Amino acid sequence: MSRAFGKISEYNLKSGNWTLYVERLEMYFKVNAIDKDLWLPMLIAGIGDETYELLSSLASPKKPAELTYDNAVSLLRNHLQPKPSVMAERYRFRQRRQGANENVSQYVSELKKLAKYCDFGGNLEENLRDQLVCGLKCDMTRQRLFAKDNLSYAGAVRLATAWEAAERDAAAMDPAGGAAAAAAAEAPSTSGTGAGAVHALSSAGGRGRARGSSQPGPGREPGRCDACGSRDHRKEGCRFRHFVCSRCSGLGHLRRVCPQRRGQSTVRGRGRRGVNHVAASQTAESEENSPSELEEELNQLSLNSYRPT
């Protein structure tokens, strides 16, 4: 028994929790069926010299051995862990919100810990339910719980935990779904409104042709499609190879890769070497150009060759 008692470390005045220490010590007494008259001597023998000196000062003019076990524990508890302000503890409880990296189970555990000294009495579960629902980080889960009639604390915990697990499992099955949906919601619409114009920007500087342009020409990169200007395929497999150009009425290419347009850009570049031109194609091409192709053309815009005017 003495060996097992020695495993209970001395109480640390600086960082120890007196309530937990006493609970652990009393569990040892009960497990070993130690008589109640021996609790005080064993307590004094186990608290260490520093804590014993503190107990002697608190019990003065009596000696610690003249106290009862309950009186000794109470003196040390009132000194080391005085009862906190109920209003202050309730304020901390009301300010608690679920953290960004905290799940529902961890949040509930922290709420119970904060409610320990709030003195809620019979209204404990009601206050726990209210703070749980109001402090959730997920707005959708909070709205669902608001819609429930006669919601109990246990029911709120069960539903919030279940919905959190379902959301986590859904994200694990489709990890790219959430990011794609968020990007689609924030990205501006590329479809025309009838009166608005979608502008494809190209810089026509002193080099004769817009840098990064997808238009074919004498210096065109190999592998580009002559029908739409894409690098992903050749003209033989392009779906626009039978389209009629809205600029020159020629067959087999789109307006943005029209030879006439390329020639006009070259003339502009030769005439004014120091001035950068911006050509805008109107929404008349929207029937020919798909949104993905418009985005590709916009992404090819390069401003590295721009010079101050």
Q: Are 255 and 262 in contact (CB under 8 A)?
A: no
Q: Are 8 and 28 in contact (CB under 8 A)?
A: yes
In this prediction, residues 83-99 reach a mean pLDDT of: 92
> What confidence tier does 6 reach under pLDDT thresholds 50, 70, 90?
low
Q: Has residue 182 got a pLDDT over 50? A: no
The CA-atom distances, in angstroms, between 123 and each of 127, 161, 196 are: 6, 22, 60
> What confidence tier does 106 reach under pLDDT thresholds 50, 70, 90?
very high
- pTM for the model: 0.45
Report how far residue 17's alpha carbon sits from residue 26's, in angstroms, rounded to the nearest whole number: 14
Backbone angles phi, psi at 11, to 5 degrees: -75, 135
Average the pLDDT over each of 68-72, 222-226, 296-300 and give the range with the smallest value: 296-300
pLDDT for res 237 = 78
Max Cα distance, the chain (Å): 112
Handedness of CA 63, 66, 69, 75 (dihedral sign): negative
